[in-house]
Amino acid sequence: MTKLTLGSHPFLLGFDQLERLVERTAKNGNDGYPPFNIEQTSENSYRITLAVAGFSEADLAITVEDRQLVVRGRQRDDAEGRVFLHRGIAARQFQKSFVLADGVEVGDATMENGLLHIDLSRAEPESVVQTIKINKK
The pLDDT tens digits for 74-106 are 987 777 788 889 887 766 899 999 989 888 999
Q: Which domain holds residue 61?
A: 30-77+84-122
CATH code, domain carrying 105: 2.60.40.790
34 belongs to a structural domain: yes
pLDDT tens-digit profile, the chain (137 residues): 555 566 566 666 676 766 776 676 666 555 678 999 999 999 999 999 999 988 999 999 999 998 899 999 998 777 778 888 988 776 689 999 998 988 899 999 999 999 999 999 998 878 889 999 999 98
Q: How far apart are CA 110 and CA 128, in angstroms?
A: 36
* DSSP 8-state class, residue 87: -
Residue 19 lies in a domain: no
- Which residues, other chains included, contact 81 with Cβ-Cβ below 8 Å and sequence gap of 6+? none
Give how many domains the chain has, as a whole number: 1
**How crowded is the C-beta side of 49, counted as CA atoms within 13 Å?**
10
Q: What is the pTM of this model?
A: 0.70
Is residue 68 in a domain? yes
Residue 114: inside a domain: yes
